[in-house]
Chain A
Amino acid sequence: MSSLLPFTSSLLGASRRLMWKNTPGLSPLLRLTPPAPSWVAAFGKKDLPDLPVLLEEELEEQFVRGSGPGGQATNKTSNCVVLKHIPTGIVVKCHQTRSVDINRKRARDIMREKLDVAYKGELSELVVKKKESVLRKQEKRKRVNENLERKRLFNEALAVDNKPGDDNA
């Protein structure tokens, strides 16, 4: 992987160090609003390694488990995790599995993707990958059309060649 590029936010005059992996040519002026988080170990997604990392202090987690006793004294099945990123106000809700632990991890993965889109906009991983995919499809379609065109021309040429032969016979 490429080396880390140190980047200092000048927008708010804060002295936080912001480190983005692998973002060459990204001008600070393109930075959207406010303070991007600093870095801790992430729940890494293998296929999208350049997503922003989350700082636990900036997250507010909410379990819909209600009041009353916890632990062995209760058996609540609502394991929906609601995660809020305080600086940006982005909220992620995850109820994909019946395990709180897995829901928490997945909520963080989704939050990273959303933060990526929020911070990088056009340059975020998701948008870039989507564009790449659209581009690939367009190119494939173009190649297919070209092949079809070539075959059509070939067949036409073949038909033209056969005609004089018939005349001669």
Chain B
Amino acid sequence: MKFSQSSLTWYTFPNLSLQHLLQREYTNTCKGRYLKKEIWRCLTRPTCSAPAFPAGRITALQALDVWKRHFVENGVTEPEQSSQYIIAHLLGAKTIESVEQQRLAEFLSKEETQQVWRLCSKRLSRMPVQFVIEEWDFRDLTLKMRPPVFIPRPETEELVELVLTDLQNHPGSTETTPTCLEVGCGSGAISLSLLKSLPQVKVTLSMIFKNIFLVLLLCCCFFCRLGLQDRLKVYHMDVIKEQMPGLFSSISVLVSNPPYLFSEDMATLEPEISRFEDRAALDGGEDGLNVIRQILTLAPDFLSNRGRIYLEVDPRHPALIRRWVEDNVEELRFVETRQDVSGKSVLQRDQHTFQEF
């Protein structure tokens, strides 16, 4: 179901047939064509050549070895893991450790070998493994991955864990069905996790990505299967440019993994990211805070009393954000900064409080 109100479009998902509708829209619209051009541009960059296709039959173990060495020779990062994930995927497993030794020692069929060569060649162009196998795990979900939609990072799993723990321990004033708002949803990983883990939660997503249909397709395939249609709404809007007073209200939890990289860091990104992922999902401006500031400014209008904001930010940000919020957003009160397990990014919580008059 597609609704329109002036310049704003939003989507709900009444039934599974929407998935087919989206698939068609994705392939037919100019946005789909834009995306296909993007993918084509990425794939047809000058690449290293693949190793010779084996004349006879080879085993999975031999294929692993051939490709690992080839990745090493061509400077592809994580050579061993890349070949392992790709070949495990082709053998129907998630990790190579899950494949039986016997299966690894068996000869691959001709089709299987061709598949190995086809997928591993994509990896040669530095396409991330997640885009090569077109899926990846996020907590207990397996999500579809397509370039250039941002690939969920493991640190964000901790962000979701934090939100879930809080929702379970502190359900909030009178909320029996808390509503969450995710800003900049990407593949929808955060929201889908929340929806799956907490049956009582409702989620609204907003995202600016040009090809809404791709993202909807990625989300839709998943949650239609789980029957989550009536608990999810998607808004296609630019949080920075568009301000819609009264659009969202009584939100219990605002969660986001906004673009937070410093512009100067964009130049040193590895090819897996710079060539294949959407820059708009990464670049946070000169100090990395452009989108974060906007979210924090608008948040008090969205949140219910005691509503909470959860953000993943750069390790250099917490003090800056605290100061900025104290100076500029009266209604928000800082609660906590937590470092993720690898110590490389940070999860921050702020809480909305009403002014007493």
Contact = CB atoms under 8 A, between A and B. Distances in A.
B242 interface: no
Contact of A76 (B78, B98, B265): B78
B95 A77 contact: no
B320 interface: no
B140 A102 contact: yes
23 contacts: A63-B341, A63-B342, A70-B343, A71-B153, A71-B314, A71-B344, A71-B345, A72-B150, A72-B260, A72-B345, A73-B265, A73-B273, A75-B153, A75-B270, A75-B273, A76-B78, A77-B82, A77-B85, A78-B78, A78-B81, A99-B137, A99-B138, A100-B154
Given A77-B130, A97-B94, A97-B137, A61 B261 contact: no
B157 A99 contact: yes
A100 B82 contact: no
Given A69-B344, A72-B259, A77-B78, A95 B154 contact: no
Nearest to B98: A96
B25 interface: no
A65 interface: yes
A160 B279 CA distance: 92
B129 interface: yes
Contacts of B345: 70-72
Given A61-B341, A65-B342, A99-B139, A79 B269 contact: no
A163 B270 CA distance: 92
A73 B269 contact: yes
Interface of B: 78, 81-82, 85, 94-95, 97-98, 128-130, 136-140, 150-151, 153-155, 157-158, 161, 257, 259-261, 265, 269-270, 272-273, 277, 281-282, 312, 314, 340-345
Interface string A88-114: 000000011111111010000000000
Nearest to B152: A99
A124 to B, nearest CB: 25
Contacts of A3: none
A100 B157 contact: yes
Contacts of A78: 78, 81
A99 B97 CA distance: 14
B268 to A, nearest CB: 8
Nearest to B160: A101
Contacts of B342: 63, 65, 70
A162 interface: no
Given A71-B314, A72-B259, A73-B261, A99 B85 contact: no
Closest 10 CB pairs of A and B: A70-B344, A71-B345, A98-B137, A100-B154, A101-B157, A99-B137, A78-B81, A75-B272, A101-B139, A95-B97
A102 B272 contact: no
Contact of B270 (A61, A74, A79): A74
B152 to A, nearest CB: 10
A101 B282 contact: no
B194 to A, nearest CB: 14
Contacts of A75: 128, 130, 151, 153, 270, 272-273, 277
A72 B139 contact: no
A100 B138 CA distance: 8
